[in-house]
Amino acid sequence: MTVFNIVFLGAGNVATHLAQALFRQGHRILQVYSRTQASAAALADLVQAAYTTDIKCLQSEADIYICALKDAVLAEVLAQVPDFGKALWLHTSGSMPLSVFDPYTHRCGVFYPLQTFSRQRAISFERIPFCLEANRKDDLVLMKTLASQLSEDVREMSSAQRQNLHVAAVFACNFTNSLYAMAQEI
């Protein structure tokens, strides 16, 4: 198995679960970036990594950079990255297109786990669908290898297909929660 050196941008629910899962598979998490020191330090501690709150201090030795950030800040954070180098850059969003990377790098992809994440709930990635999209075929192969280490369900999907799937998943999850709330009132 190839061991990858990975940097995470983001320290929220998705980053926390995904970083730990990749760490358990033997990958090296080099660094965690977050705007919040407490969040960065907490995740870094879980995966034996360094951390930073300064985007200009990202380690440059990573093979893969995973942006597990809120959609609202993804483009803003990418614009602040000082050097994209030759590494593969991924985001984990269901609704953001692959083209968000266009101004910065051609080695990019989407590594989207179709799942609602909560820090309080343990996640088993084995059956979680991973929806992948990449700019380059060789990067897609690498991403499939990485996703297959976590899940039995790995799919290639365009930005438009993934956005539709994401909307459907959000609707199904939130609609069900609304029905539970209404039922409780009855």
Tell me how far apart the alpha carbons of residues 110 and 158 are, in angstroms, rounded to a whole number.
9
- Each residue of 129-165: pLDDT tens digit? 899 999 999 999 999 999 999 999 999 876 666 665 5
Sorted by sequence, the CB contacts under 8 Å of residue 78 that are 6+ apart come out as 67, 100, 101, 103, 104
Cβ atoms within 10 A of the Cβ of 136, count? 13
- Torsion region of 10: left, alpha or beta (phi above 0 gives left; psi -120 to 50 gives alpha): left
61/48 Cα distance (integer angstroms): 16
CATH superfamily of 5-185: NAD(P)-binding Rossmann-like Domain (3.40.50.720)
DSSP state of 3: P
The alpha carbon dihedral of 116, 122, 124, 130 has a sign of positive
4-25 confidence digits (pLDDT tens): 999 999 999 999 999 999 999 9
| Average pLDDT of the chain to the nearest whole number | 88
